Structures are given as structure tokens and as C-alpha cells.
């Protein structure tokens, strides 16, 4: 039974890998680091997630998408629990996720601790000579920068 459960839980993680972030569809919710745990209570599946920003409107959509993905795959009794502690940090974003972000044209977050002094690297031309245009960008998690070399403006996923 335990072995069987482990197999199901592994399968669930694979399914969660296929749920994209609605705002940045190139990232899966696993890349973002918001799925904290997957548990089974008899027939019931519990997915434990944590919000990125308190007011992030994508969280409701993500809960719905997880539910739909699992229902599509035959898991009918799905409970999604949101926990706040420990608070989400961009340090939980996977390395693979950061590479995907850069390819998508968004500068990935730096690790917290060595963040504030240097500007992010331009995702287009990889120049380190960039400037802040606005601390707030197109979503709560991003800031707006411009590259001084290739002149392209770009989003930076803020270190959080």
C-alpha cells in the first residue's frame, strides 16, 4: 500500500509539472516553487501550495488549473490547501525555471543575499550594464529595466 501510494504521488508530481503559471506560461508551477507538498489521505489527494505575493491574482487560477489537471487524469477528490508559512521566496525557483525565464525574455531573480547592489543581466544581449526604469512592472513579481547596450527594455523577476 505504501509503495502503491508512493507511485501515485510520483505520478501526481509529474502531472503538476504540466500545470503552467498563467502569467508566465513558460514556467510550470514546480519551476516557480509554489507546490510545497503532495499528500494522500485514502482516496483524497491534497496539494499544498503557497502564494507568491499575497495579492497575486494568478493564485486562484492556479488552484483551478491544478484541480482540472488532476480531474482530467482521474483524481476526483482533490483538496488544495494554501499555506503562508514559510513565506515563498524566489530562491525556491528551480535552476531550470531560471533558464526558461531568460530564454523567454525575463531576467531571472538573483539569489537573495547578493541581490540589491548589482543590476540584473539583460536577457537579450547578456550585458550587465542595465538600469532600473520602475520598481514595479507588468505584474507584482516583476520590475522594469532597460539595457544600456542593446537599449531593449525588459522585465526583471524581482528577488523576493
Partner 1 sequence: MDQLINYILHLADSNLILTQRNAAWCGHGPILEQDIAITNITLDLIGQSRNFYQYAAKLINETSGKEETEDSLAYLRTEREFKNLLLAEQENGDWAQTIARQFFYSLYQYFLYEKLQHSKDEQLAAIAAKSLKEVTYHVNWSSEWMIRLGDGTTESKERLTNAVATLWPYTGEMFLPANYESAMIAEGIAVDVIELKNDWIKKVTSFFEEATIALPENGFMQTGGKNGVHTEKLGYILSDLQYLQRTYPNATW
State the residues that interact with partner 1 by CB under 8 A: 51, 53-57, 83-88, 133-140, 144, 158, 160
Q: Smallest gap, in angstroms, from Cβ of residue 60 to partner 1? A: 11
Here the cell at position 15 is 502531472
Burial grade of 101 (CB within 10 A; 0-12, 13-18, 19 or more): buried
Q: Smallest gap, in angstroms, from Cβ of residue 80 to partner 1? A: 14
Q: Smallest gap, in angstroms, from Cβ of residue 25 to partner 1? A: 20
Of 40 and 89, nearer to partner 1 (C-beta) is: 89
Of 53 and 92, nearer to partner 1 (C-beta) is: 53
Sheet with 35-41, strands from edge to edge, namely: 35-41, 44-49, 78-82
Instruction: With beta carbons less than 8 A apart as the criterion, state whether 155 and 106 touch.
Output: yes
Here the cell at position 41 is 489521505
Of 25 and 86, nearer to partner 1 (C-beta) is: 86
Amino acid at each position: 500500500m505504501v509503495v502503491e501510494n508512493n507511485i501515485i504521488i510520483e505520478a501526481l508530481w509529474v502531472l503538476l509539472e504540466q500545470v503552467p503559471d498563467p502569467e508566465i506560461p513558460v514556467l510550470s508551477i514546480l519551476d516557480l516553487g509554489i507546490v510545497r507538498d503532495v499528500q494522500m489521505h485514502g482516496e483524497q489527494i491534497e496539494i499544498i501550495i503557497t502564494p507568491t505575493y499575497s495579492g497575486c491574482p494568478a493564485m486562484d487560477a492556479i488552484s483551478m488549473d491544478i484541480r482540472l489537471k488532476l480531474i482530467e487524469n482521474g483524481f476526483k477528490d482533490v483538496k488544495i490547501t494554501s499555506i503562508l508559512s514559510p513565506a515563498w521566496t524566489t530562491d525556491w525557483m528551480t535552476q531550470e525555471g531560471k533558464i526558461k525565464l531568460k530564454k523567454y525574455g525575463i531576467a531571472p531573480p538573483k539569489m537573495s543575499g547578493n541581490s540589491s547592489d548589482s543590476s540584473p543581466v539583460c536577457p537579450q544581449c547578456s550585458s550587465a550594464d542595465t538600469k532600473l526604469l520602475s520598481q514595479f512592472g507588468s505584474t507584482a513579481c516583476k520590475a522594469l529595466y532597460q539595457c544600456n547596450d542593446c537599449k531593449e527594455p525588459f522585465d526583471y523577476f524581482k528577488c523576493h
